Amino acid sequence: MDVLTEKNDMETNAEKGAKLLDVRCPGWAWEVNILELDMADIFKCVLGQLYGTWDLGLTALGIPGDSEVHGFNLGDLSYVHTYEELDDVWVELILARRS
Cα separation, 74 vs 39, whole angstroms:
9
- pLDDT for 6 equals 52
Cα separation, 15 vs 4, whole angstroms:
16
- pLDDT for 1 equals 46
Sequence-separated (6 or more) residues with CB below 8 Å from residue 38: 44, 45, 83, 87
Q: What is the pLDDT along the chain (99 residues), one digit of tens a residue?
A: 444 455 578 999 999 999 999 999 999 999 999 999 999 999 999 999 999 999 999 999 999 888 999 999 998 888 888 999 999 999 999 999 999
